[in-house]
Structure 1
C-alpha cells in the first residue's frame, strides 16, 4: 500500500523523505502514523528495485544533507501495475485506505483503470452491506442475549448500512461521471 502512495506522490514530482512522510501521515488519517523506521527502509527497497532514484542534496540551512527521491521509468510501470491491482476486501478498512490512495492518483491512469478500480471497490461495498444485512437479520430472528448488547449491535449495523448506502451512491455516480467523459 505504501509503495503505491510513494510512487503516486513521486508521479507529481520529486520529493524529499520528510515531505513524503508528512504527506503520507496526513493521508492515512488520525490515529495512524508512518514512522521513519517504516518509510526509509521502504524507500531503500524501492531504490534497490529501480523504481525510484535517490539524489543527495546539500541543504543550505543548517548544513544538513537532504535525500531527494524521483520516480524512474520502472517506477512508473510499477505504479501502473499497482493501480490495476484488484482490491482485496479483507481487511475492509485496508481496502478503503488503498482505494482512497488510488483515487488521489486517478489523474495519472487511464479511464479504464479508474473505472476498474471504482467497480472493484463498489463490489467490496456491496459485499459488506450484504454481510451487515445477513448478520442484522440473524440478530433480529434469534434475539440473542443480552438484549442491551443486541440492541446496540443493531444500532451499529444501522450506522454501517447508512454509510454503505452513501458510499455506494457516490461510487455509482462517479462511475457514471467517468463513463460520460470523452476519451
Structure 2
C-alpha cells in the first residue's frame, strides 16, 4: 500500500520516470529507508497491468526513458488509498509521511481529518510512552535509566509533531 500510494500521489502531479519516483520516495521517507529500483520498477509494471497508470517510452538524450502517467482509474485508486485508515504496525510512520506529502489533492475537510488522525496517533504514542516511563521508574537500574532517556526523546518528538499539526491546521484554515 505504502509504495503504491506514493507512486500514484506523485503521478497526480505530473508524469514521471521510475528513476525520479524512486528518488522522490527516498527523499520523502529519509535516508533511514533504502528504496531500490528492484521495488519501484516491478510495482510500476503491476500498476500498469491493473490499469492505474500508463507507461510510455520517450527518447531523451540518446536514452529511452519510461515515463509513467496516472490514469483515471489510478486517480480513483489514489483517493481510495488516501481514505483508508493507516494500519498499526512497523510502517505506520512512513505511511503518514506519504499521506501528508500528497494530501494537497484532497478536499480541505479531508486534509483536516488526516491531520486529526495523525494527531491522535501522536497522542496514543505519548500515552504508551508515559506508561513505559512509569514502569521503568518502578525499579532503579542503569538499564532503566538509559531506556528512560530514549522514551523522553520519543515524548519530545511527538510533542513537536503535535505542535506542527496544530500550526499546519491553523495555516490551512487561514490559507484555504
The verdict on a shared fold, with TM-score over 0.5 as the criterion, is yes
Paired position in structure 2 for 1:163: 157
CA-to-partner distance for each residue in 1:36-91, whole Å, 9 max, x for gaps? 21111100110011110111123342xx3211110000111111111111112322
Closer, same or farther: CA 89–179 of 1 in aligned 2, 3 Å = farther
Q: Say what the alpha-carbon RMSD is for the aligned residues.
A: 1.6
Cα drift, residue 180 of structure 1: 4.4
CA-to-partner distance for each residue in 1:2-53, whole Å, 9 max, x for gaps? 1111111111111111111122222221132211211111001100111101
Larger Rg: 1
Residues of 2 paired with 1:178 and 1:59: CA distance?
A: 39
Secondary structure, counterpart of 2:39 in structure 1: helix
Residue from 124, 127, 140 that aligns with 1:127: 124
Residues of 2 paired with 1:166 and 1:31: CA distance?
A: 20
| Greater Cα shift, 2-11 or 97-106 | 97-106
Residues of 2 paired with 1:149 and 1:126: CA distance?
A: 26
Residue from 144, 166, 172 that aligns with 2:166: 172
Residues of 1 paired with 2:32 and 2:123: CA distance?
A: 27
Asked if 2 retains the 8 angstrom alpha-carbon contact of 1:86 and 1:117, the reply is: no
Residues of 2 paired with 1:65 and 1:177: CA distance?
A: 43
How many residues are aligned here? 175
TM-score, normalised to structure 2, is 0.91
| Structure 2: stretches of 5+ with no match in the other structure | none
| Structure 1: stretches of 5+ with no match in the other structure | none
Paired position in structure 1 for 2:15: 14
